[in-house]
Structure 1
Amino acid sequence: MKRPIRDQIMWPLMGLLLVAIAANAIFSAWWMSTRNRTALEARQRQIIGVLEESSFPVTQTVIEKLRQLTGDELVVWDTAERRVVVGTLPLADLSAYEFAEDSAAEQQGPPRRQTLGDTRYLVRVCRIRGFPTQRLAILTPDHSMRKASRDAIWPPLAVGLATVLVSIPLTLAISASWARRIHSLEKHVETIAQGDFGLELSGGHVDDELSRLVQSINSMSRQLRAMREQLIQGERTRLVAQLTAGIGHQLRNGIAGAKLAIQLHESRCHQVTDTSLIVARNQLALVEEEVQGLLSLGKSDARPPGVVDLRLIVMTVRDLVSLSCEHQQIELTVLVEDPPQSVIGFTDGLRAAFLNLALNAIDAAGAGGQVWLVLKSDATLNSDATHCRLIVEDDGSGPPTELEESLFESFVTSKPEGIGLGLTVAATVARTHHGTLTWSRSDGRTRFELKLPMSAATKTGV
């Protein structure tokens, strides 16, 4: 059965308030009744003490004054004549009533109850000094005690009812606010359950349990979006690997045939210094490296990794792209730091990754532009190098703004003729070698940096 949170909050709270109000009223009535009774007994004993020790006669004037002071009725009863000597009661005949003297035990205990006419009294009786046959009866109306108890009940009841009247709208407002927040949270979770990850809900201005729950759900939504993107990227990479593997094998066979034809032509014509053949061999080598990079995408290498000389990687890529730079009148600058730097990995994959970065830089720089190929370490004056960096920079316009977040994903490209796998290959190689591939743009230059951990041989200077 559905129970709104409003009812779960309000009704227990109202029930608790009503129980507290009733308990408070009952306690107040009991406490007031006990206090009044104690005060009554003390007052009656004081009157008895005064009159028992007094030497003056108890006259009508005296008892009238005492009645005005205490509010009690007083009667002087003559036991011998069985009549009222003086008294304040308006009853015409009191001879039918007996006012027996209290015993010693009764004087220490509570007053006895006695009904005179239609009124019930709390009665205490004592002797009068100098008048052996006379007794003084002090009668306190019982209804005054009950009235005091009733008067004690009303203040806590009034305060309690006022508290209830204020608490009901306040509780409704608080529970309605919580209900709205929980309802929005429920809708948000339903949206996430339907697969719309990444949306975030505001936690509100109050830092409470619901706000922290909202933060946790927002964090879960972000993590689910990241996991989905990773799964999509993994599936995309797997499909790309399958596609490029088939195409790559066909291209490699065609490249092998073209190289064989060039070699046969050279052996027959003996024109080894022919520039056109040199350019052809260079372009074939360039295409072969790109094909090798495609074949390595999403495919683990069964060979054990070895020590890779990064200077050799940089020089090889320089040789492969130098003719293209010369043809487009692009200024190519190569900066290699000493001492020699090496990493543990695979030469083919690193060379293909660095070559892809260099070719992208050449395309971005355009005719008359500048491209920099840099190899450096992260050594400082106070620490030894732990990583080395393969850096490619160009002075082109940089990637479009809309592609900045997805630059390393498969099939993401700004080139009309591109397929968007070059940076994917480079990023995959970086992860395979426990490194990172990042990019930045400053001072009119676009910079791609492949950061790799150095091998132990480089760190020890071997």
Structure 2
Amino acid sequence: MRDDSITMDWRPLLQHLQDTLPGYRFSLQYLDHNGLNQAVESGTIAFLITNPGQYVELESRHGVTRLLTLDHGMQEGSASGAAFGSTVIALRDRADLQQLQDLRNQRLAVVGQEAFAGYQILWGEMARIGMDPAVDTARLIRTGLPMEQVVQAVLDGKADAGVIRTCLLEAHPQWQQQLRVVAPVQLPGFPCASSTRLYPNWPVASLRGTSPELAKQLTASLLGMTVAADQMSWSVPADYQSVHELFRTLEIGPYAYLREPTLMVLAQRYWPWVAGLALLIVLWIVYTVHVEHQVRARTAALQQALDARDALEDKARQAKEQADHMARLSVLGELSSTLAHELNQPLAAIGNYARSLLRRANQQRLTDDAVRTAAGEVATQADRAADIVTRIRSFSRKRSAQSGPVSPVRLAEDAVALFRGMMVHAPTVLVHNRVPDDVLVDADALQIQQVLLNLLKNGLDATRQLEPEHQTLQIALDADARQVQLAVQDDGEPLPPDALHSLFQPFYTTKPDGLGLGLAICRTIAEAHGGRLDARAGDHGRGLRFTLTLPRYLPPFPTC
């Protein structure tokens, strides 16, 4: 854990882990930038919590893997998508400091040039307006940790301005009477003043040598934390691409290899040794050769990075396909007993007709009409069994996503046919279609069929123990100018509001033997299609109504 987190109370996290994972013993270590690097290299820690900047460096250098992102910490209203920035502070009587440009030729207090919120975020913001704090300020005053020393340097007059983490000023009301924020940025919904844009919150990450099973258990444990009970909560890993873009712009961290000296920088740095036109010409020639070499090396490095990115994207795509495939097999597994009974019916009929033919042949009562009748019935029952097997194989086959224009009515009818075809006593499924015949959606038919089948299976589970009049399931299809809605309604017992809000959270389930992944995967499929999956209480106060919304297919505009 980074030392700049010492002002945050992490004791609830430690206590929660000890309570939920009693088989392990957890302890907290507060380390500075170098100490955390050494701990990761030596493998003396299993997990780490640090700022987004150092996480990106450790991810590139040591392959640490983020598990979750801090959702609510000590700062009320923070969010994992945007909760971390820099605030520039100055004394209230410094009316000359209004914008970031006003920091030119001023003394600036920072934690250190390796500090993410304490320097690098502001550096990136100033770079966008053509400034470099290391060059354009009169002096960088490095205070080190804790960050409160930056504030003290400004209060003592040792610095004209200082850089601190967002929300640190609001946590100390006594400072707000003496200090104000320079160049505040309007950030709707964010409770603290900031001088920069925001970046994702702190991640918790595991090391390469950490047991995957332990990482899985810790992830599940932290997902159970809530602000009300534990003063903080965690969510799925945020997208840290904005941090990568910042480091790429500044050419630091994993992108330090992009930094190379220009001729002007060399001239400014070594101007006492630049003597004469001849030496400038020599330097120009050397620089030209050097740049050519660096361009080739950079091109090769960038190509390597692109290849690695493509490999990771391909791996992620394969993992998603595997998850979808396993979800379909899970539904089939839950219906396996009824499926076996359904197949036994045509097989039993085929056996009966075959034995009847043998008896008639043994008794010399076999006629051509009897043979034709029996053969026809055997063929009919065989076709019925083959049709059932074909539908199951088509649904369970593992393949890549294949999107295209498809009729939403056909999607619903195929899902109902597959659902009812796998059951002995299938419930009634009513399809209310209010969609014109020419309306299409751009979708992968098998994935949408998987969503509908999962929703029908959930409706069956919710009404299985009810009277027959409450076991009917309904699918309603509606469309407007831009979207198509497919709503699946059951007539089961209503869920309490808190359970309704948690339906789509991973690992949440109301079934005794459920995994809590079906609806989460279904919502992921809907969002991948540019749509959404919502749930609300059913009509007349009974059951649930799931609505799958998909964008309509629009034919490509004809070109000349």
TM-score in same-fold range (> 0.5): no
Q: TM-score, normalised by structure 1?
A: 0.41
Q: Which protein has the larger Cα radius of gyration, Structure 1 or Structure 2? A: 1
Query: By percentage of residues, which structure has more helix?
Result: 1
TM score, norm. by length of structure 2: 0.35
